[in-house]
Structure 1
Amino acid sequence: MKITAFAGSNSKASINKRLVTYVASLFKQPDTTILDLNDYQIPFYGTDLELEKGVPQEVLEFSDLIKESDFLIISLAEHNGAYAAVFKNLFDWLSRVDGTKGFHNKPIFLMAASPGGRGGASVLEIAQARLPFNDGEVIETFSLPNFTSNFNDVEGITDSELKTTLFNKIEDIKTQLKF
Structure 2
Amino acid sequence: MSVRILALVGSLRAGSTNRQLAEAAVKLAPEGAEVELFEGLAEIPFYNEDIDVEGGVPAAATRLREAARAADAFLLFSPEYNGTIPAVLKNAIDWLSRPYGAGAFGRKPVAVVGTAFGQYGGVWAQDEARKAVGLAGGRVIEDIKLSIPGSLTRFAETHPSDDAEVAAQLTEVVARLYGTVEAVTAA
TM-score normalised per structure 2? 0.77
Identity %: 26
For residues 107 and 51 of structure 1, do their structure 2 counterparts lie closer, same or farther at Cα, with a shift above 3 Å needed? Answer: closer
**CA distances 1:33-61 after superposition (whole Å, capped 9, x unpaired):** 211235x5122233444469743222122
Aligned residue number for residue 35 of structure 1: 38
- Confirm or deny: 8 A CA contact 2:29 2:171 kept in the other structure: no
For residues 121 and 48 of structure 1, do their structure 2 counterparts lie closer, same or farther at Cα, with a shift above 3 Å needed? Answer: same
Aligned residue number for residue 74 of structure 1: 76
Count of equivalent residues: 176
**CA distances 1:11-53 after superposition (whole Å, capped 9, x unpaired):** 1221111111112322135643211235x51222334444697
| Inter-partner Cα distance in structure 1 for 2:175 and 2:160 | 22
| Inter-partner Cα distance in structure 2 for 1:109 and 1:50 | 27
Give the partner amino acid of 1:32: V
| Inter-partner Cα distance in structure 2 for 1:35 and 1:142 | 20
Aligned residue number for residue 153 of structure 1: 159
Give the partner amino acid of 1:157: D
Q: In the TM superposition, what is the alpha-carbon distance from 1:149 to its structure 2 partner?
A: 3.7
TM-score normalised per structure 1? 0.80
Aligned residue number for residue 119 of structure 2: 117
| Inter-partner Cα distance in structure 2 for 1:108 and 1:156 | 25
- Confirm or deny: 8 A CA contact 2:7 2:22 kept in the other structure: yes
Structure 2 unmatched ranges of 5 or more: none
For residues 22 and 165 of structure 1, do their structure 2 counterparts lie closer, same or farther at Cα, with a shift above 3 Å needed? Answer: closer
**CA distances 1:64-94 after superposition (whole Å, capped 9, x unpaired):** 1111111221101211111212222222222
- Confirm or deny: 8 A CA contact 1:10 1:37 kept in the other structure: no
**CA distances 1:144-169 after superposition (whole Å, capped 9, x unpaired):** 111134342275335x4x55544444
| Inter-partner Cα distance in structure 2 for 1:132 and 1:169 | 19
For residues 176 and 13 of structure 1, do their structure 2 counterparts lie closer, same or farther at Cα, with a shift above 3 Å needed? Answer: same
* Structure of higher RCO (CA pairs closer than 8 Å, 6+ residues apart): 2
